[in-house]
Structure 1
Amino acid sequence: MTDHVRWGILGAANFAREHMGPAIHLAKRGRLAGLATSSAEKAAPFAALAPGLQVFDSYEALLADPEIDAVYIPLPNHLHVEWALKALDAGKHVLVEKPLAMKADEFDAVIEARNRTGLLAAEAYMIVHHPQWQKAKALFEDGVIGRLIRVSGAFSYDNRADVGNIRNKPDTGGGAIPDIGVYIYGAARFVTGEEPERILSARINRENGVDVWSHITADFPSFHYTGVVSMRMAQWQDMTFHGKDGVMRLTAPFNPQVYGQAEIELHRKTASGEPEVSTIRFPAVNHYVEQVSAFNRSVLMGSDYPCPLEFSRGTQAMIDMVWAAERAG
């Protein structure tokens, strides 16, 4: 390996073209070196972004190339585990789009392969790399809102018109919870360091076999949780941590710059008892770039990766609990 990580992408997905391809190109100590696609038309935007890009006509050909150090996998959800394992067995570090797996125990094979090969494997849970979330965790741990009582999360958009979208198809692992539930569930776990004890309620609406709207409530060891995700509602993002002494609210917590500016609002009282709102702003950070830069550091320098597979497995375990609560009625 050189002094930078040479990246390949399996498939010319729209998300890879719009977000992760540019992020790999911009990240410190990384280079977009390869793309696996049989479509010259789909390869063109990537080649324009990264001159000298090598285009492979199959995933297997990219994985066999010794000039590729790491691969990003943005394939449909149901293919993530299969190709993560193939990439690790081919000697490549792996960053897999979320959700890495459809059930928590499916993570175990990838964790075993990571441990066996000594390579880095991670789910692309980009928000934990953003300073908005790192600051929120630090503020919570410093006790600025006092004893935590309630956490609520909401993430919604409307893609009902896009009937061909893989998120609207059950055979590709579609659904709102696999797509965006990972954010509102994992964010609560990341900030608090706690795991859900039980799902109190799970109301889920489905269309064509996929969940399109859900409202869940859960008990964590020290707080009550409420979460809503939907692919059939007006666009909205919000995470709120409500404590005895204050409220911490994160705006644009999942798609900063695209949805809005990332901010942390702190609602507390002054020493004289007057209400006070202070705002911390993060106007220019790209969390996809930060994610790839962190991955490169871990590969090249051996530093701890901020979002290990064990954390991502825990979020999927919470999703599994939601599915079980739905089945139980």
Structure 2
Amino acid sequence: MSQPLQIGILGAARIAPKAICDPAKVIPQVKLAGVAARDEGRANDFAKAHGIAQTFSSYEALIASPDIDLVYNPLPINLHAEWTIKALEAGKHLLCEKPFAMNSDEAKAMLAAADKAGKRLIEAFHYRYHPAFETCLDWIADGRIGDVTRIDANFDVAIRDSDDEIRQLPETGGGAMMDLGCYPLNWALHLMDALDLVDAKAETTSRGVDESMQVRLQHGEKTWVHLTTTMAAGTPFSAQMTIAGTEGLIYFKNPLAPHVNGSLSLRRADGSEVDQLRPVSPISTYTWQLAAIVDALKTKAPLPTEGAMILRQQQALDDIYESAGLRHLRYR
């Protein structure tokens, strides 16, 4: 029997239990081998709570350890490039949380480090690995709705405004488009092989980050993409995508996490329902993601959230912030 994939976690981040610890408990080919945090006491508590084998005294010690095969990086965005590159140079594979980097220059440096090290560098767009999204892609590829003419997508949720909320702070890569809107953008990029930015408009907070963003993109001359996102106080959770075609329409409720009350349906142009995905897999997107990574490291098969797609996404974010007059948030 082959040895399990040994995973090390940089930081006791809020997303880590859902994104990596819980999936690791149900995938026998992986082991939570270590965690490091700025506060060693916090790392000890995190390790105890999630059954992690070892606590490291520093990020450097974790990435230097021969006991670690893959590093999960959920640090604030402004630290992604530094610690991802250091871990790659130490010979580790990397799963880096979204959004990948502060800007495309950082992303290029990270990808170059992965190429030089001969290691895998994967962006953690977990939704992409769920069977519901695969079904959506298949319906479009099979021509079930004809030629795509319009995509409307949004991800909205309130994010509290406080001094310790990194998603609200310019210096840590905050902003609605970075944390939330990156998802609808990524959905669209996986649906369309080329997208050109038309324009972007933002409303900013008192701290100077984008509280909301509206984005228009175009594919060729006949397909329009409209993306919206907001993290304003009092905003209810909303994640959905509608894909209109010449012969029908796909409605995707919660593409972000289809396992949580998500649904996917296809209707003809006259409104009659043709197909519906039943059931939607209740297995979490994060579990599907980790299982795909384990398989890809074994088989050397490519993954949809690595390589050129990472740079496509990051360049699109740069262009959106430039268009909205907020380039200084990406290049500080």
Shorter-chain TM-score above 0.5? yes
8 Å CA contact 1:96–1:124 kept in 2: the answer is yes
Measured in 2, the distance between the counterparts of 1:4 and 1:296 equals 9
Give the drift of 1:113. 1.4
State the partner residue of 1:302: 300
- Where 2:100 maps in the other structure, the secondary structure is coil
State the partner residue of 2:137: 137
Between the aligned residues of both structures, percent identity stands at 30
Which range is displaced more, 287-296 or 33-42? 33-42
Q: Deviations over 1:51-108 (max 9, x none)?
A: 6x10001000111110111100000001101111000001111111011112123221
State the partner residue of 1:236: 238
Measured in 2, the distance between the counterparts of 1:41 and 1:104 equals 32
The aligned runs of 1:1-329 (5 Å cut-off) are 2-37=2-37, 38-50=39-51, 53-162=53-162, 164-192=164-192, 194-199=193-198, 201-207=199-205, 208-221=207-220, 222-232=222-232, 233-257=235-259, 260-268=260-268, 275-281=272-278, 282-327=280-325
8 Å CA contact 1:182–1:316 kept in 2: the answer is no
For structure 2, the 5+ residue unaligned runs are 328-332
Q: 1:87 to 1:274 in 2, by over 3 A?
A: closer
Give the drift of 1:300. 2.4
- Where 1:327 maps in the other structure, the secondary structure is coil
Q: Deviations over 1:182-235 (max 9, x none)?
A: 11011011123x222232x31100111111111111212241010101101221
What's the TM-score once normalised by structure 1's chain length? 0.91
Give the drift of 1:162. 4.8
- Where 1:14 maps in the other structure, the secondary structure is coil
8 Å CA contact 1:17–1:46 kept in 2: the answer is no
8 Å CA contact 1:98–1:179 kept in 2: the answer is yes
Measured in 1, the distance between the counterparts of 2:271 and 2:96 equals 47
State the partner residue of 2:330: none
Which range is displaced more, 74-83 or 227-236? 227-236
Number of corresponding residues:
321
8 Å CA contact 2:126–2:286 kept in 1: the answer is yes
Give the drift of 1:47. 2.5
Measured in 1, the distance between the counterparts of 2:117 and 2:43 equals 32
What is the alpha-carbon root mean square deviation over aligned residues? 2.1
- Where 2:55 maps in the other structure, the secondary structure is strand
Which range is displaced more, 60-69 or 102-111? 102-111
Measured in 2, the distance between the counterparts of 1:328 and 1:157 equals 21
Which range is displaced more, 180-189 or 277-286? 277-286
Which range is displaced more, 140-149 or 158-167? 158-167
Measured in 2, the distance between the counterparts of 1:293 and 1:203 equals 38
8 Å CA contact 1:28–1:293 kept in 2: the answer is no
Which amino acid is 1:278 matched to?
A: D
What's the TM-score once normalised by structure 2's chain length? 0.91
Which amino acid is 2:152 matched to?
A: S
Give the drift of 1:119. 0.8
Which amino acid is 1:71 matched to?
A: V
Q: 1:243 to 1:171 in 2, by over 3 A?
A: same
Which range is displaced more, 103-112 or 155-164? 155-164
Q: 1:93 to 1:196 in 2, by over 3 A?
A: same
